[in-house]
Structure 1
């Protein structure tokens, strides 16, 4: 542990942030040309119950930034503990090609969403955006949502949490 009087260390900061476990989501929307776009995001959180608001953040250098800033709606697909392969798939490669091999369907408002059963999903209207530091904070107003009994996928300390406690047990 560095001395508390030491200069700020960005690498140490990133490691400290990794000690906070987060859920794993795939954000999905449609580009202006109709192409479904998706990417893995772990910076998802609730904001308000009334009105129903959620937030997530996106790097200012993301190739999908413009699409998500300009879209009318998006879906937050909260992945289940069994969907590690989907998390990895939507975290790599070209965001315009990620749906080529992934079954998807339209959410009630028409936004593309994963066809596999996730732990939960939230179809959101793109409500507001705030640039802070090297990210843009996206706030969505939840129009519709659903959930299953599946345990959520958890990301912690740079990897997926595969402990028995994260597995669904009924």
Structure 2
């Protein structure tokens, strides 16, 4: 294999797509309206003390400036069957929450039903990182759903599912 020095965004996007990642929806009720983004750059276990997770968001995001001011942000780790929900929330037009089964609490955190994991978070720090910002979130509460679907994975610029081997 020969390394390439093509560091143009399209080439890097193709290269980076070879690393599989989970997908999380980060949502809150802001000024009475649901707001949310999806992130394939979401990482858990950044720190246990204090409890921190992180994700990266594009500087051009129109939703992040609205969401970052929320007292609490609900993180829903998406599972198989959530492909359409992921596309809907990531859409740049229309009612991105129409028809979705949602759960909110007094903090304003907004969660998607049937997610594998819910985390209630607040913004701890935001660090400039080129054309993105890396956002550290402090975890204030969590709920793992045992009846949740298998995780949704993004790999090779497509949604994938983890296969469970059959031992017959």
- TM-score, length of structure 1 as denominator length: 0.84
Deviations 1:106-161 (A, max 9, x none): 146341222x2111111101111111100111111000011123321100010011
Corresponding residue number in structure 1 for 2:54? 55
- Which structure features the higher share of strand residues? 2
Corresponding residue number in structure 1 for 2:145? 148
Q: 1:39 aligns with which of 32, 37, 40?
A: 37
What is the SS of the residue equivalent to 1:86?
helix
Q: 2:128 aligns with which of 104, 108, 131?
A: 131
What is the SS of the residue equivalent to 2:90?
coil
**Residues 1:100 and 1:8: Cα distance change in structure 2 (over 3 Å):** closer
1:88: Cα distance to partner?
A: 1.5
* Aligned-CA RMSD value: 2.1
Contact 1:107 1:123 survives alignment (8 Å): no
When structure 1 is superposed on structure 2, of 52-61 and 62-71 the one drifting more is 62-71
**Residues 1:2 and 1:107: Cα distance change in structure 2 (over 3 Å):** farther
**Residues 1:161 and 1:70: Cα distance change in structure 2 (over 3 Å):** same
- TM-score, length of structure 2 as denominator length: 0.85
What is the SS of the residue equivalent to 2:98?
helix
Structure 1 gaps of 5+ residues are none
| Corresponding pairs, count | 162
In 2, Cα distance between equivalents of 1:117 and 1:2: 43
What is the SS of the residue equivalent to 1:144?
strand
1:2: Cα distance to partner?
A: 5.4
